[in-house]
A and B are shown apart, each in its own frame.
Chain A
Amino acid sequence: MGDNGTLWLPERASTMAGEVDALFYFIYWVSVIFFIGVTGTMVYFSYKYRRRSEADRPAPIRENKLVEASWIVIPTILVSLVFTWGFKTFIKLSVAPPNSYEITVRAQKWAWQFEYPNGATSNELHVPVSRPVKLRMSSVDVLHSFFVPEFRVKHDVVPNRYTTVWFEATRQDTFQVMCTEYCGTLHSSMLAYVIVQSQDEFNQWLAESLLDESATPAERGALLYQQQACNGCHSLDGTVVIGPSFQGLFGTPRTFEDGATATADANYIRESILEPSAKIVQGFAPVMPAAYSGLSEEELSALIAFIQEQQ
């Protein structure tokens, strides 16, 4: 790991990064030239025409139409050039190649979930190298935004509709997905890993991510705990992240906001997953998303078994 970028930009890890960077540097250097021109002239004139006496009254300068015209025409040409170039690259960034590998992305406060064509889900984005990948993204609650700096891609993730982003990774490495649309308390923790692998390793990972039939329910629950991003809010070691820790949770009495109590048995856990706002434990905020109603009976049992195991 580590970054081999330049002063201004992170390393390039996608096929489009080079084009975006070329455009960036072109504008950057043109800007530097203009900046030096303006400030250099300014400093020079401040010195050369500094006031010698209080009574100085220089004669007015007649306007030079050629100079006026040139600093309208030249910038217009430059911005037209830059606009056209930017627009062409933008079209390429917006339209995924036809044979892209599609992965569905679900964003929620404050975790990412990725669903693969074979049904596997994970909180990590695994992609095969040198293959265009298209992400179909949607939010379950508020606006989020998907950003991987090394790929030079970004797009907002909106509730109730799909937005897309595509990239073709060029290096096998691990990168970070960052949420770039403010979404609440843990906005800055809403990160995920993009793991670029060879096609073989990717296929292997994909197969392993499907729930293994021979695993015990608790083992499957452990996998789900990560894939469904429960680990974003519930720890296993007693620390309170956003929600209660699972350590020693099962079987203990719980007191709720309205004073009522209940024991954290299997029914309680099940209800908490399917209807998170039904009972809120005192001292916690009602922020668990109602995004898990789609879990199958098997998956629910697995999670309950897993939680039960946490001492």
Chain B
Amino acid sequence: MESATQPVGAAPQAAEAPPSGTHNYLTHERGLWSWLTTIDHKRIGILYAISLATFFLVGGVLAMLVRMELLTPGETIMGADAYNQSFTLHAVVMVFLFLIPGIPAVLGNFILPIHIGAKDVAFPRLNLASWYIFMIGATFAIGSVLVGGIDTGWTFYTPYSSQGSNAVLFMTTAVFIAGFAGIFTGINFIVTVHKMRAPGMTWNRLPLFVWAIYSTAIVQVLATPVIGITMVLLFLEKFMQIGIFDPALGGDPVLFQHFFWFYSHPAVYIMILPAMGIISELMGTFSRQKVSGYTFIALSSVAIAFLGFLVWGHHMFVAGQSPISSIIFSMLTFLIGIPTGIKVFNWVTTMYRGSVWLQTPMLYALMFLFLFTIGGLTGIMVGVLAVDVHLHDTYFIVAHFHYVMMGGTVIALIGGLHYWWPKITGKMYNERAGKIAAALVFVGFNLTFFTQFILGSRGMPRRYYDYADLLDRHPEFLGLHQASTVGSWILALGLFLILFYMLWSLFKGKQAPQNPWGALTLEWTHTTTPPSPHNFDRTPLVTRGPYDFYLADDVFGPRHTGDGAGDGAAQEGA
């Protein structure tokens, strides 16, 4: 890594400051057909954005319905079967149709090639095919609802799932097909990062977002095939009773759980690693400081990607696996906490002696630190064997994973969306609306989910349609459920507000300058706003790291001597 005392290298071409593009990737071709046949990674990112936003809305509405039902004991708005299908579909849609494709499909597609100085991904046609494959998978998921729906939970545990309705066949097909979209995206990103970096873009100069997406791609490639074969086997179990998971036929239901979680645990790292990449970018840009511990953060992403394959059994401590297995899995689970902690501490110290600018993206980055820390620490709690015995399959677990998946991934995604919105759309969103919505989301989220920690540790099981019969011994469940439901309304309000002002900005937003945040990654310094179809007029030559603000006179102008140590020498850390 360059030390701050080296002289600045040859100034990159961005000094020419290309004008805000009137001819850009959005205007280059017009019409629906040009969008549906595009091979431009930026347009494909937008296709994914629209689909994923739609699925997030569907999953969110289902969540609202689930919480509404729990507002009062007994039946509130639906019966038991409808409720069980609602929470199942909520999770399936959120996990497979939103979180897993998630940040890589939207922001990864749009930003990654530009971050490394490439004109596109390695396989643009495969990229478009991925989107279509994903949509076909999603269609099968919707199909499963139309043929009666499933109520197995998103975990499809056997023998309940192999004995139930035929809708399971549709859903397993949906997951199988959608999985291929993830595999192809992963392959695309790995080869792109290996083969298409611009001259001077060494591994050490890659933005941390790229490291994150790259690590995620490794997990996608290695893990997704396992859910693929699991779905195939479940399909055949249901369709032909091959007997592999059904004890009545000689099979083992716990074997299904091993298969399922061997993918589904790495899957949560597919969800969180890209989010962490976004946070690195936001912390760097909005502290205008080098991201503390660059090497540690980069390598911890890779470490988490690999370690993530070793801990699946922590979902099965009380499932009937041997105590020895449980012990080993618990130990490995703690190991993963360490690189995660390293990241969080480094992000905080990035702000030290920085210049912190509390714009909406930064508010979401700070919100991430708050919420993900809670999520991560409660993850450690449930990794402890004896404590997990009490907490497993209760609302504590529900709260834990919502804190990391929603408080982590979704919050980071929203932050990243705000951050890159000017670049993607050429418009600025309304900053005041951004701050108000962030406050609503923060309050709503915590009210919804913190109460669920208490519900869970006090004994409220998850996936329960009704708690009326529990109120005798646990009267506190009522108040906690009601508070959680009210929280969901506030959260929904905040999220709808975001949707509203973002769409509004498309029509009425101010024109965005080329680099509103003063960031140094290539999308801000070397492309127009919005970018041209091939991103760069000339292939960039990279001569400095992505967070070398102190050296970037070409972007900020010459340094004044009043800026801290006038001679450019680095300051000592604490």
A-to-B contact residues, CB < 8 Å: 1-3, 5, 7-10, 19-20, 23-24, 27-28, 31, 34-35, 38-39, 41-42, 45-46, 49-52, 54-64, 67-68, 71-72, 75-76, 79-80, 82-83, 85-87, 89-91, 93-94, 141-143, 145, 147, 149-150, 152-156, 158-161, 163, 175-176, 178-189, 191
Contact = CB atoms under 8 A, between A and B. Distances in A.
B195 interface: no
A141 B366 CA distance: 48
A51 B557 contact: no
Given A28-B381, A87-B330, A149 B390 contact: yes
Interface in B43-75: none
B505 interface: no
Contact of A61 (B253, B463, B475, B573): B573
A55 B560 contact: yes
A1 B475 CA distance: 11
Given A49-B287, A182-B463, A61 B571 contact: yes
B390 A175 contact: no
Interface hub of A7, A20, A156 (most chain B Cβ within 10 A): A156
A56 B369 contact: no
A52 B355 contact: yes
Interface in B496-528: 518
Given A45-B356, A57-B549, A154-B392, A3 B341 contact: no
B157 A82 contact: no
Interface of B: 4, 80-81, 84, 151-153, 157, 159-160, 163, 247-248, 253-254, 287-290, 292-293, 296, 318-320, 323, 326-327, 330-331, 334-335, 337-338, 341-342, 344-345, 348-349, 351-358, 366, 369-370, 373-374, 377-378, 380-381, 384-387, 389-390, 392-394, 454, 457-459, 461-467, 469-470, 472-476, 518, 548-550, 556-557, 559-560, 563-565, 568-574
A58 B288 contact: yes
A155 B344 CA distance: 34
Given A57-B559, A61-B573, A80-B334, A50 B356 contact: yes
B348 A45 contact: yes
Given A61-B292, A67-B574, A87-B327, A9 B457 contact: yes
Contact of A71 (B84, B341, B463): B341
Chain A CB within 10 Å — which of B248, B473, B557 has the most?
Answer: B473
Given A24-B387, A188-B466, 12 more contacts: A27-B380, A31-B380, A46-B351, A50-B356, A60-B290, A83-B331, A85-B386, A86-B385, A142-B160, A156-B319, A160-B248, A185-B80
A184 B570 contact: no
Chain A, interface SS category: mixed
Given A38-B369, A60-B290, A142-B160, A178 B253 contact: no
A93 B389 contact: yes
A46 B80 contact: no
Given A58-B354, A61-B292, A185-B80, A24 B381 contact: yes
Nearest 4 Cβ contacts at the A-B interface: A149-B459, A160-B247, A90-B385, A89-B386
B446 to A, nearest CB: 12
Contact of A49 (B84, B353, B454): B353
B556 A187 contact: no
A186 B80 contact: yes
B160 A183 contact: yes
B570 A60 contact: yes
Contacts of B356: 45-46, 49-51
Given A153-B389, A179-B461, A191 B326 contact: no
Contacts of B572: 61-62, 64
A246 B352 CA distance: 73
B320 A1 contact: no
Nearest to A176: B473
A79 B380 contact: yes
A159 B247 contact: yes
Nearest to B249: A160
B302 to A, nearest CB: 16
Contacts of A143: 157, 159-160, 253
Contacts of B151: 184-185
A41 B341 CA distance: 15
Contacts, number: 288
A182 B157 contact: yes
11 contacts: A7-B454, A24-B457, A28-B381, A54-B518, A62-B4, A68-B296, A79-B338, A143-B253, A147-B393, A150-B459, A184-B151
Given A8-B458, A34-B377, A83-B384, A189 B470 contact: no
Nearest to A175: B473
Contacts of B355: 49-52, 56-58
B389 to A, nearest CB: 5
A180 B345 contact: no
B341 A75 contact: yes
Nearest to B355: A56
A127 to B, nearest CB: 17
B2 to A, nearest CB: 10
B163 A142 contact: yes
B358 A50 contact: yes
A61 B458 contact: no
A180 B568 contact: no
B341 A82 contact: no
B381 A27 contact: yes
A30 B573 CA distance: 26
A105 to B, nearest CB: 14
A75 B300 CA distance: 15
Nearest to A38: B373
A9 B366 contact: no
Contacts of B549: 57, 60
A31 B377 contact: yes
A185 B319 CA distance: 21
Nearest to A43: B366
Contacts of A83: 330-331, 334, 384
Contact of A35 (B254, B326, B342, B374): B374
B358 A79 contact: no
Contacts of B290: 60-61
A90 B84 CA distance: 32
A159 B248 contact: yes
Contacts of A161: 247, 320
A59 B159 contact: no
Contacts of B366: 42, 46
B255 to A, nearest CB: 11
Contact of B293 (A27, A56, A63): A63
B288 A57 contact: yes
Contacts of B569: 59
Contacts of A180: 392-394, 461-462
Contact of A60 (B4, B380, B389, B454): B4
Nearest to B294: A63
A59 B287 contact: no
A53 to B, nearest CB: 8
B247 A86 contact: no
Given A60-B290, A71-B342, A154-B392, A19 B348 contact: no
A176 B474 CA distance: 10
Contact of A185 (B81, B338, B377, B462): B81
A199 B550 CA distance: 77
A188 B557 CA distance: 65
A89 B454 CA distance: 23
B474 A23 contact: no
Given A34-B373, A175-B473, A51 B357 contact: yes
B348 A189 contact: no
